[in-house]
């Protein structure tokens, strides 16, 4: 019976991240529209768009190879697995032993690799520009992510997210290194998800596009799968920040069904708060020029390095 309950809890988490990720996008768009004194689209509009795309015919470029057709499903699978491994409403679930910070970075890196290859596969200029920019940004974002993982793993004594969340919840202490890790992870999350000020997913200007340039030739179900994967990636980073730095409300894996229900409520509240703050930040910030993005990501890398050094220095005192 316990095995079945653990399996149900893990399946519920996988279904939850799949269902909530487009709603997070819809909520952010709604808040941004309200802040700009507009009515805005419905909360379920991202789901309506995905269902509309799934019904449309797939149009492929003449030069598209098997890689171009397979890439959306590989990106979706790696992102869904990574998003489902991050503790959302409970820690210590059935697959929590695989929820390792280094493994998450590897899964996201694999998704980025296939997305960049797909962008170059059809040989268009837009795809090549987007892939080169994505690779350049990734070369700075991934080291910053690893350094941030070093900070939290050195403090918590583990790279497993369930153990990190349990440590942060039980031994909360204000540390400068943790603050550096939080700011660095927020910068990486903004860049990795192509949000303002790094990229603007609502525009298709060739001088500024990054993510949209790589998927410009996709259509139908391929585009729907990629858009759903992009929504899950945003939810993954929000879940990661909430799990590591704001772990309150997380239930234990052996908790009752009622406690897990409260965990789901806390998680949804965290998503709403993160979506509101993201919308507020994007409406008050202008998009930066592309060649300034490395400086933006370099700040995250420096914060990660400084935070790691602070952890070692404070331990030696």
Instruction: Work out how many domains the chain is built from and give that number.
Output: 1
Please tell me the predicted confidence (pLDDT) of residue 216: 84
pTM above 0.85, yes or no: yes
Please tell me the predicted confidence (pLDDT) of residue 276: 95
Please tell me the predicted confidence (pLDDT) of residue 45: 95
Please tell me the predicted confidence (pLDDT) of residue 208: 60
DSSP state letter for 58? P
Please tell me the predicted confidence (pLDDT) of residue 1: 59
Q: In sequence order, what E strands does 46-85 have?
A: none
What residue ranges of the chain have pLDDT lower than 70?
1, 172, 203-209, 316-317
Q: What share of the chain is helix, strand, coil (3-state, %, to 5)?
A: 75, 0, 25
Q: In sequence order, what E strands does the chain have?
A: none
Alpha carbons 116 and 130: distance in angstroms, whole number: 8
Coil, strand or helix at 55: helix
Neighbour-count burial of 183, counting CB atoms closer than 10 A to its CB (0-12 exposed, 13-18 middle, 19+ buried): middle
Alpha carbons 13 and 264: distance in angstroms, whole number: 9
Which residues lie below 8 Å from residue 78, measured CB to CB, with a gap of 6+? 107, 108, 110, 111, 114
Alpha carbons 159 and 269: distance in angstroms, whole number: 26
Please tell me the predicted confidence (pLDDT) of residue 220: 93
Structural domain range at position 53: 1-316
Report whether 83 contacts 238 (CB < 8 A). no
Determine the length of the chain: 317
Please tell me the predicted confidence (pLDDT) of residue 279: 93
Please tell me the predicted confidence (pLDDT) of residue 63: 81
Alpha carbons 193 and 211: distance in angstroms, whole number: 8
């Amino acid at each position: 019976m316990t095995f079945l309950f653990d399996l149900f809890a893990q399946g519920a988490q996988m279904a939850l991240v799949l269902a909530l990720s487009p709603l997070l996008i819809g909520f952010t768009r709604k808040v941004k529209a309200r802040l700009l004194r507009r009515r805005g689209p419905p909360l379920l509009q991202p789901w309506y768009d995905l269902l509309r795309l799934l019904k449309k015919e797939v149009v492929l470029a003449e030069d598209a190879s098997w890689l171009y057709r397979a890439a959306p499903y590989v990106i979706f699978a790696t992102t869904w697995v990574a998003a489902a491994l991050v503790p959302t409403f409970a820690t210590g679930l059935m697959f929590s032993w695989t929820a390792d910070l280094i493994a998450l970075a590897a899964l996201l890196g694999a998704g980025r690799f296939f997305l960049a290859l797909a962008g170059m596969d059809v040989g268009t200029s837009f795809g090549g520009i987007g892939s080169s920019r994505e690779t350049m940004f990734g070369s700075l974002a991934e080291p910053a992510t690893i350094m941030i993982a070093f900070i939290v793993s050195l403090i918590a004594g583990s790279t497993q997210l369930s153990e990190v969340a349990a440590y942060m919840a039980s031994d909360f202490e204000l540390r400068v290194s943790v603050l550096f890790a939080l700011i660095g992870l927020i910068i990486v999350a903004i860049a990795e998800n192509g949000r303002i000020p790094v990229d603007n997913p609502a525009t298709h200007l060739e001088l500024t596009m990054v993510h949209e340039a790589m998927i410009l030739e996709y259509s139908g179900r391929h585009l729907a799968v990629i858009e759903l994967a992009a929504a899950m990636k945003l939810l993954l980073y929000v879940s990661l920040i909430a799990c590591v730095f704001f772990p309150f409300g997380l239930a234990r894996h052996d908790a009752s069904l009622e406690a897990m229900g409260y965990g789901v409520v806390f998680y949804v509240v965290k998503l709403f708060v993160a979506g509101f703050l993201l919308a507020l930040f994007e409406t008050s910030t202008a998009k930066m020029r592309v060649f300034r993005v490395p400086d933006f990501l370099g700040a995250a890398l420096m914060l990660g390095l400084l935070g790691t050094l602070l952890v070692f220095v404070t331990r030696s005192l």
